Amino acid sequence: MAQIRLKNVSKRWNNFIGVDNFNLDIADQEFLVLLGPSGCGKTTTMRMIAGLEDITEGEIWIGDRLVNKLEPKDRDISMVFQSYGLYPNMTVYENIRFPLKVRKVPAGQHHERVMAASKMVELDDFLQRRPAALSGGQRQRVALARAIVREPNAFLMDEPLSNLDAKLRVSTRAQIKNLHHTLKRTTIYVTHDQIEAMTLADRVVVMSKGLIQQVGTPMEIYDRPANTFVASFIGSPAMNLVHGEIHNGVFTGDHIRVDGLSTQVNGPVTLGFRAEDAVLADSNAHIEAPIYSVELLGEATMISMRVAGELVSIKVGKDYRAEIGDVVRVNIAPSACHLFDRSTGQRIATAG
């Protein structure tokens, strides 16, 4: 069992708070993603779980063991870092094998376990090469194989795809997803890339400034963001957020008027909606504004306009043709709208 539990975990350096009162239960075999911008505390949280960073307060449990005082080597976890950390003088085979030698695994088991790990990440043709002769994607696969060969209870992965180009990120992401399905090990994955979080995670922990903003499945976080920070961080493009006033269920702002919102709130609010939830309209539109830009994406066209001082994106059909400056009319279903408190940013209602 590799259930991991963090209870009231904090990390401080003098007056700077890196992680503040972090509480989370990670289920056995769960794929959990820590998501947030640089400096939000996600890597610090992972390093505390790994034992590479001392905690200031709280408890970390792996299975039924309190591991606060345990050395990293005694926690039965494997880490994959953004930097591959391969030994340049060793072949791929020896790099994968090295953790077994360090942990004094009987030599008779080495070859079988190295070959099994190599096969999982499709490295069999490269075992006699040295890291300098490998591409970035191949080096990352060596790092993955080196983590797999130990057969740990849990994997910790810190931005493992950041150094890869876009095409390699997609293929390696699929490989990590398949490995988790095959190995069935608890995995904690750190990233600032919300697409990685959405595609890989069973659950996502969105973090900002050392605090948990929301925990949920990718679709829970996408469909019902807890606050404007989560709404603006999840989605490609991010959720449109427009400031305005609401009275008797009618939201108004510059170039926008949306009625039929079911809420008792009156006064200044922030209205949110996704680009794909807006549709072009002929008349009586919720939004009427000149086009700011037009971007052909291939499968769709993205148009943007300034609404209530904010740049708003709308996804339309790939055959849509318009010029910058043309006035466009858009409707948004009230059920697709999100309302947030203007001062705190917290979710206050979902219309519909």
Residues 255 and 297 in one domain: yes
What pLDDT, on a 0 to 100 scale, did the predictor assign at position 220?
A: 96
User: Is residue 29 a part of any domain in this protein?
Assistant: yes
Residues 111 and 17 in one domain: yes
Residues 88 and 204 in one domain: yes
Residues 184 and 78 in one domain: yes
User: Is residue 232 a part of any domain in this protein?
Assistant: no
Q: Which residues of 2-22 are buried (b: 16+ CB within 10 A; e: fewer)?
A: bbbbbeebbbeeeeebbbbeb
User: Is residue 261 a part of any domain in this protein?
Assistant: yes
Residues 8 and 122 in one domain: yes
Residues 209 and 241 in one domain: no
Q: CATH code at 244?
A: 2.40.50.140
Range(s) of the domain holding residue 266: 237-350
User: Is residue 231 a part of any domain in this protein?
Assistant: no
Residues 192 and 262 in one domain: no
Residues 128 and 149 in one domain: yes
Which stretches of the chain score pLDDT less than 50? 351-352
- Segment 62-91, tens digit of pLDDT: 999 999 999 998 898 998 887 778 899 999
User: Is residue 257 a part of any domain in this protein?
Assistant: yes
Q: CATH code at 152?
A: 3.40.50.300
Query: Which two three-digit tokens encode residue 229?
Result: 């920070």
User: Considering 204, 226, 248, which residue would you say is the last residue of a domain?
Assistant: 226
**Structure pTM?**
0.90
Residues 43 and 143 in one domain: yes
Q: Are 329 and 260 in contact (CB under 8 A)?
A: no
User: Considering 167, 198, 226, which residue would you say is the last residue of a domain?
Assistant: 226
**Which amino acid is located at 280 in the chain?**
L
CA angle 156, 76, 5 (to 5 degrees): 65
- Segment 253-286, tens digit of pLDDT: 999 999 989 888 899 999 999 999 999 998 789 9
Residues 188 and 66 in one domain: yes
User: Is residue 341 a part of any domain in this protein?
Assistant: yes
What pLDDT, on a 0 to 100 scale, did the predictor assign at position 349?
A: 61
Distance of alpha carbon 71 from alpha carbon 175, whole angstroms = 30
Residues 259 and 189 in one domain: no
Distance of alpha carbon 317 from alpha carbon 241, whole angstroms = 22
Q: Are 189 and 32 in contact (CB under 8 A)?
A: yes
Radius of gyration of the chain (CA): 24
Residues 248 and 161 in one domain: no
User: Is residue 285 a part of any domain in this protein?
Assistant: yes
What pLDDT, on a 0 to 100 scale, did the predictor assign at position 232?
A: 92
What pLDDT, on a 0 to 100 scale, did the predictor assign at position 230?
A: 97
Q: Which residues contact 244 (CB under 8 A, 6 or more apart)?
A: 251, 252, 253, 254, 256, 268, 269, 270, 271, 308
User: Considering 226, 254, 280, which residue would you say is the last residue of a domain?
Assistant: 226
Q: Which residue in this structure is represented by tokens 């679709």?
A: 219
What pLDDT, on a 0 to 100 scale, did the predictor assign at position 351?
A: 45
Provide the number of structural domains found in the chain: 2
What pLDDT, on a 0 to 100 scale, did the predictor assign at position 160?
A: 86
Distance of alpha carbon 321 from alpha carbon 109, whole angstroms = 63
- Furthest-apart CA atoms within the chain: distance in Å: 76
Long-range contacts of 83-87 (CB under 8 A, 24+ apart): 83/163, 84/131, 84/139, 84/140, 84/142, 84/143, 84/163, 85/143, 86/131, 86/139, 86/142, 86/143, 86/146, 87/131
